[in-house]
């Protein structure tokens, strides 16, 4: 899809910010550029949409030489997201999501269809489209910000440290959302970061840069097990080489069966189910087994005398991973966000299993720090 050949950016005085960069990016890949300060990662990113013009070399997109395209036309086909993807407070959520499509002069029908489709992907009701950012929680606003980056259906999305200024929990949440949406929508994303953990978590392949040159371009597992040289080893850190070693374990291997209830049941039926199964949380599904949210004892206690509806009581913001997800990714998320559990769903969003703190205790050391041989 995107081919970069002998790309070089040379400034006055002879300094090369990027020197002879060569790589190919496939459609639908998530690529991370990472390196030390001044390594050339942001310069390389900005040459793709010609915010910085290369000194030499070529970039072709689907066979078209980008240097021969009109810069405005080019930028309309390539999304660009910088730090702090905040919302416009004077615009509705619908207007925020469709900000770029409006600039591209999409029809009202197409903009509305896009906004309705996207807001459904983050489990928010369509009625939220006519609210203003101040009426949403901080986490909901951040999710809308990610949707806006994806709304214009552009060929490639460039992201320059979009989560760099966020707190660790919010950042971790948005990383998961971005990766999930990127995979579901088939977007090609090129992502600049200074955080190796972020690159490992998000990227299909990582481009490590140093002094303007590409040092290694490979999958996270390959980089972590076979670093190209001493610089890469030092940059990754020895603790990650141990911590992130590939594991055969996936969530499917250790998940347990969750206790669920369908949406049309009453709160009294939910209480009876909790008592009989001796659990404090139920996961709510539709008639096809698709995950909709969750109920816990506190929610039912506060709502029991005001409503009998599960739909009005449940929390729709439920943590999930997909089947086939590496176990260490789920363990890390549980620890970072201090979660009790994470649900496991399939491609159709059907509830398949549950990962809890309790059922991973025996595997934490093996999953995160690797096996250690000890003398008995």
> What pLDDT score does 351 carry?
94
Q: Would 244 be classed as within a structural domain?
A: no
- pLDDT surpasses 90 at 324: no
> What pLDDT score does 72 carry?
83
Residue 241 pLDDT grade (very low, low, confident, very high; cuts 50, 70, 90): low
Residue 45 pLDDT grade (very low, low, confident, very high; cuts 50, 70, 90): very high
Higher pLDDT among residues 195 and 371, named by residue:
195
Number of domains comprising the chain: 2
Of 211, 236, 261, the residue at which a domain comes to its end is: 236
Q: Are residues 335 and 221 in the same domain?
A: no
Quote the CA–CA distance of 74 and 373 in Å, as a whole number: 56
Structure pTM? 0.72
DSSP per-residue string spanning 296-327: EHHHHHHHTTT--BHHHHSB----EEETT-BH
Q: Where is average pLDDT lowest: 8-17, 54-63, 89-98, 239-248? A: 239-248
122 dihedral zone (left: phi>0; alpha: psi -120 to 50; beta): alpha
Q: Would 335 be classed as within a structural domain?
A: yes
Quote the CA–CA distance of 356 and 353 in Å, as a whole number: 10
Residue 367 pLDDT grade (very low, low, confident, very high; cuts 50, 70, 90): very low
**High-pLDDT (> 70) share of the chain, %:** 91
* Highest averaged pLDDT of the listed ranges 166-180, 247-261, 341-355: 341-355
> What pLDDT score does 239 carry?
65
pLDDT averaged over every residue in the chain: 85
- Average pLDDT value for residue range 302-327: 83
Read off the CATH number of the domain in which 61 is found. Answer: 3.40.50.300
- In the sheet that 156-160 helps form, which strands lie side by side, from edge to edge? 78-81, 156-160, 188-193, 30-35, 205-210, 213-218
Q: Are residues 85 and 9 in the same domain?
A: yes
Q: Would 297 be classed as within a structural domain?
A: yes
Of 206, 236, 266, the residue at which a domain comes to its end is: 236
Residue 146 pLDDT grade (very low, low, confident, very high; cuts 50, 70, 90): confident
Residues 140 and 86 sit within 8 Å (Cβ to Cβ): no
Q: Would 242 be classed as within a structural domain?
A: no
Q: Would 256 be classed as within a structural domain?
A: yes
Quote the CA–CA distance of 151 and 79 in Å, as a whole number: 9
Residues 330 and 353 sit within 8 Å (Cβ to Cβ): no
Higher pLDDT among residues 68 and 143, named by residue:
68
> What pLDDT score does 217 carry?
96
Nearest residue to 196 via CA among 240, 249, 145 = 240
Q: Are residues 168 and 264 in the same domain?
A: no
> What pLDDT score does 284 carry?
94
Quote the CA–CA distance of 309 and 105 in Å, as a whole number: 42
Q: Are residues 309 and 206 in the same domain?
A: no
**Residue 343 CA to its chain's centroid (Å):** 17
Of 187, 212, 236, the residue at which a domain comes to its end is: 236
> What pLDDT score does 240 carry?
67
Q: Would 7 be classed as within a structural domain?
A: yes
Q: Are residues 43 and 142 in the same domain?
A: yes
Quote the CA–CA distance of 366 and 94 in Å, as a whole number: 46
Q: Are residues 202 and 327 in the same domain?
A: no
Q: Are residues 210 and 318 in the same domain?
A: no
- Average pLDDT value for residue range 141-162: 85
Quote the CA–CA distance of 209 and 355 in Å, as a whole number: 37
Read off the CATH number of the domain in which 281 is found. Answer: 3.10.580.10
Residue 54 neighbours by CB under 8 Å, 6+ apart: 7, 8, 9, 18, 47, 67
Residues 284 and 294 sit within 8 Å (Cβ to Cβ): yes
Q: Are residues 284 and 232 in the same domain?
A: no
Q: Would 245 be classed as within a structural domain?
A: no
**Residue 313 CA to its chain's centroid (Å):** 28
**Residue 185 CA to its chain's centroid (Å):** 12
CB count, 10 Å around CB of 176? 18
Q: Are residues 109 and 171 in the same domain?
A: yes
> What pLDDT score does 244 carry?
44
Q: Would 49 be classed as within a structural domain?
A: yes
* Highest averaged pLDDT of the listed ranges 11-20, 30-39, 312-321: 30-39
Q: Are residues 230 and 264 in the same domain?
A: no
CA R_g for the chain: 23
Tokens 């390594």 belong to 39
> What pLDDT score does 362 carry?
56
Q: Where is average pLDDT lowest: 253-267, 288-302, 326-340? A: 326-340
Residues 39 and 188 sit within 8 Å (Cβ to Cβ): no
Q: Where is average pLDDT lowest: 1-5, 105-109, 220-224, 307-311? A: 307-311
> What pLDDT score does 236 carry?
87
294 CB-contact burial (10 Å; exposed 0-12 / middle 13-18 / buried 19+): buried
- pLDDT surpasses 60 at 315: yes
DSSP 55: S
- Give me the count of residues in the chain: 376
Q: Are residues 138 and 12 in the same domain?
A: yes
Residue 361 pLDDT grade (very low, low, confident, very high; cuts 50, 70, 90): low
Domain span including residue 133:
2-236
Q: Are residues 30 and 106 in the same domain?
A: yes
> What pLDDT score does 373 carry?
46
């Amino acid at each position: 899809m995107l081919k970069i050949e002998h790309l070089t950016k040379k400034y006055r005085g002879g300094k090369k910010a990027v020197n002879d960069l060569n790589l190919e990016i496939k459609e639908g890949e998530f690529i991370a550029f990472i390196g030390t300060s001044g390594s050339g990662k942001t310069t390389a990113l900005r040459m793709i949409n010609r915010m910085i013009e290369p000194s030499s070399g070529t970039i072709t997109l689907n066979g078209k030489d980008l240097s021969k395209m009109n810069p405005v036309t080019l930028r309309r086909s390539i999304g660009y997201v910088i730090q702090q993807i905040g919302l416009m407070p004077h615009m509705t959520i619908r207007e925020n999501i469709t900000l770029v499509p409006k600039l591209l002069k999409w029809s009202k029908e197409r903009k509305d269809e896009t906004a309705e489709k996207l807001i459904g992907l983050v489990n928010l009701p369509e009625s939220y489209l006519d609210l203003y950012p101040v009426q949403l929680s901080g986490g909901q606003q951040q999710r809308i910000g990610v949707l806006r980056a994806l709304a214009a259906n552009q060929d490639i999305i460039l992201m320059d440290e979009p989560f760099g200024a966020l707190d660790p929990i919010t950042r971790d949440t948005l990383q998961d959302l971005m990766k999930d949406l990127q995979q579901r929508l088939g977007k090609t994303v090129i992502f600049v970061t200074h955080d190796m953990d972020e690159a490992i978590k998000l990227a299909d392949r990582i481009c490590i840069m140093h002094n303007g040159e590409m040092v290694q371009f490979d999958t996270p597992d390959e980089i972590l097990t076979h670093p190209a040289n001493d610089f890469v080893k030092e940059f990754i850190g020895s603790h990650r080489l141990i911590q992130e070693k590939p594991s055969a374990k996936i969530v499917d291997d250790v998940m347990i069966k969750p206790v669920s209830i369908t949406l049309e049941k009453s709160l009294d039926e939910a209480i009876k189910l909790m008592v009989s199964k001796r659990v404090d949380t139920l996961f709510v599904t539709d008639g096809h087994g698709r995950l909709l949210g969750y109920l816990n004892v506190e929610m039912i206690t506060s709502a029991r005398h005001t409503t009998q509806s599960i739909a009005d009581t449940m929390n729709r913001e439920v943590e999930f991973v997909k089947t086939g997800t590496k176990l260490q990714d789920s363990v890390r998320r549980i620890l970072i966000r201090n979660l009790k559990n994470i649900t496991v769903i399939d491609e159709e969003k059907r509830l398949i299993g549950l990962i809890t703190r309790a059922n991973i205790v025996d595997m934490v050391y093996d999953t995160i720090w690797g096996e250690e041989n000890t003398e008995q």
